Structure 1
Amino acid sequence: MTRQLIINADDYGMCRAANTGITSLLRAGAISSATVMTPCPWAPDAIATAARHGWDVGVHLTLTSEWNGYRWSPLTGGASLRDAAGYFPHESKTVEEQADPEEIRAEIKAQIDRAVALGLDPSHADNHMGSLYGLATGRDFLTEALGVCAEYGLPFRLPRTLDGMGLPPELEPFAEAAAARADAAGVVILDRLWTLPFHKREGETYESFKADMIALIRALKPGVTEIYVHPFEDTDELRHIMPDYEKRAMELRVFTDPEVQQALADEEIALIGWRDLRDVQRSR
């Protein structure tokens, strides 16, 4: 088997800094795909741009709203999906504890339907902050997510193995069970899902981050792996929204860096998109 890689940019449509950063990478062909947060205010701009260029963009299923001064709400009226102020909860744990599965299903469908209504032909679906996976309490919403993806003919971000994710090995049976559920639903998933830490670590520089990304690329194994990032432009807007703006700017630079591009070439990594997996799913 060849080593196939999807490079996905999460959070398209979250804010203008997300759109300008991710659009620049899609335009340059430096990433394979992106996923758009349809409850967020800049989603129409992201989708209009993606549709105009025919880019590989999916739906970043959103059930949380993590920032204090910049928030978004459910598209549906589901009371179990809202906090006291009417927004999505800040944390995935709250979603797992209080969300009603049928309201989750309705919200997932509404978010995909909004993307389609805005002109997107979605390539896949994935999940903002892992709120559907049951990582915090063990209560997941994979039945609802996989059911909707099967209905719409969309692959879903779910790895067959936790290999390379830095998670305890005792969780591996949960990954295997989740993969079996996806197979039973006829939904195509990944072999592996990798990334680097979201937050800027003490002493981390762009050069050290780039070295870590090159090491990640060189460690890729046969099969389909997704590396996901959050590449935003460093702007006043972004600095007002989140404290980790420096890491977002690093992620924006790294896949257009000649050394990273050379590593991909040296390792003979085959870059693919989520549309390739969608084609496989829809041909079955």
Structure 2
Amino acid sequence: MAGDIRLIVQGDDFGMCHAVNVGTIQAFREGILTQASTMAACPWFTEAAALARESGIPLGVHQTLTCEWDFLRWRPLTDGPSLVGDDATFLRTVDAARASITYDDSVRELSAQVAKFAAEGLAIDYLDVHMGQSAQESAYDEVSDAAGKPFIYGPVESQRFASIVTLSDREADGKKAWMLDHIAGLTPGVHLLVTHCAAAHPELAAMTSPGTYTYRWAEEYRLSDQEIVTDPEIRKAIEERGIELVSMRNAFSD
């Protein structure tokens, strides 16, 4: 039955920069975004926390052990030496993080990121991971167990979803058609759609160098995601199928 279809629309990287914060809240208030994965180690987390308190957007901890950009760099909240490169900021790739980061340093850092949410008075509904891949899988499990919240990309928790799909890294001119097809094809169950929303601010284009492997993630993918998530035709297609928009807070409730 169509009424048995639930869709989580998640915005990643909340707190990373002002453009992402503005776009995420707009997508939540005016679009179909239902939750935001939030980066406590990033420079604009304090603004994201204030916006979250004001808007009530459901939040997850976007557990962060990497920093992929050339010019937007962030440091760990803790002092674990295995967490950083020569510039004392997080390593740039998941592979580099896996090769360097120790279990103990991971647990301390990820625990500090969770604690920073509590210090801002923010409730946590779930935990996930930045850049989509785990740098220290057992550390993520330990931290989520201690927080008492699901790590949604874990081997057990991820099986609860009927699908987990990323919108972002698709060509902009075909993204709306893909999204409409995706909505039309959803089956009963809980589906997770991962997006990376941002408002059109100059800082997006300035985060990294042209030609780098992250370049399209800086501006192109985010602005096209923002357009899709706030498109009235997309919301209409969801409503016509009777799909319920939910967050991790209520996705698996009866």
Query: Fold-level match, TM-score > 0.5?
Result: yes
Matched, 1:270 2:244: yes
Matched, 1:141 2:136: yes
Matched, 1:30 2:32: yes
Cα-to-partner distance string for 1:39-87 (whole Å, 9 max, x where unaligned): 1111000011101232211111111100101111111111111111111
Cα-to-partner distance string for 1:10-67 (whole Å, 9 max, x where unaligned): 0001001001100111222521100111111110000111012322111111111001
* Secondary structure of residue in 2 paired with 1:121: coil
Taking a change above 3 Å as real, the CA distance of residues 131 and 239 of structure 1, as seen in their structure-2 partners, is same
Taking a change above 3 Å as real, the CA distance of residues 96 and 278 of structure 1, as seen in their structure-2 partners, is farther
Matched, 1:258 2:229: no
Q: Is the 8 A contact 1:155 1:278 kept in 2?
A: no
Matched, 1:239 2:239: no
Long gaps (5+) in structure 2: 209-214
Q: Is the 8 A contact 1:125 1:154 kept in 2?
A: yes
Matched, 1:220 2:182: no
1:66-215 alignment, distance < 5 Å: 66-132=68-134, 141-158=136-153, 178-179=155-156, 190-198=161-169, 201=171, 204-205=172-173, 208-215=174-181
Cα-to-partner distance string for 1:231-264 (whole Å, 9 max, x where unaligned): 1112111111143313211111112212111211
Q: Is the 8 A contact 1:214 1:263 kept in 2?
A: yes
Matched, 1:46 2:48: yes
Taking a change above 3 Å as real, the CA distance of residues 195 and 44 of structure 1, as seen in their structure-2 partners, is same
CA separation in 2, counterparts of 1:42 and 1:57? 15
Taking a change above 3 Å as real, the CA distance of residues 155 and 89 of structure 1, as seen in their structure-2 partners, is same
With 83-92 and 246-255 compared, the bigger mean Cα shift is at 246-255
Partner of 1:15: 17
TM-score by length of 2: 0.88
**Which is bigger in relative contact order (C-alpha 8 A, separation at least 6)?**
2
Structure 1 segments, 4+ long, off by >6 Å, are none
Partner of 1:174: none
CA separation in 1, counterparts of 2:162 and 2:80? 33
Taking a change above 3 Å as real, the CA distance of residues 191 and 29 of structure 1, as seen in their structure-2 partners, is same
**Offset at 1:94?**
0.8
Code of the aligned partner of 1:80: S
**Offset at 1:218?**
1.8
Instruction: Report the aligned-residue RMSD.
Output: 2.1
* Secondary structure of residue in 1 paired with 2:90: coil
**Offset at 1:142?**
2.6
Tell me how many residue pairs correspond in the alignment: 244
CA separation in 1, counterparts of 2:125 and 2:92? 27
Q: Is the 8 A contact 1:61 1:126 kept in 2?
A: yes
CA separation in 1, counterparts of 2:253 and 2:94? 31
Code of the aligned partner of 1:222: P
CA separation in 2, counterparts of 1:11 and 1:216? 23
Code of the aligned partner of 1:46: A
Long gaps (5+) in structure 1: 133-139, 160-177
* Secondary structure of residue in 2 paired with 1:51: helix
* Secondary structure of residue in 1 paired with 2:249: helix
TM-score by length of 1: 0.80
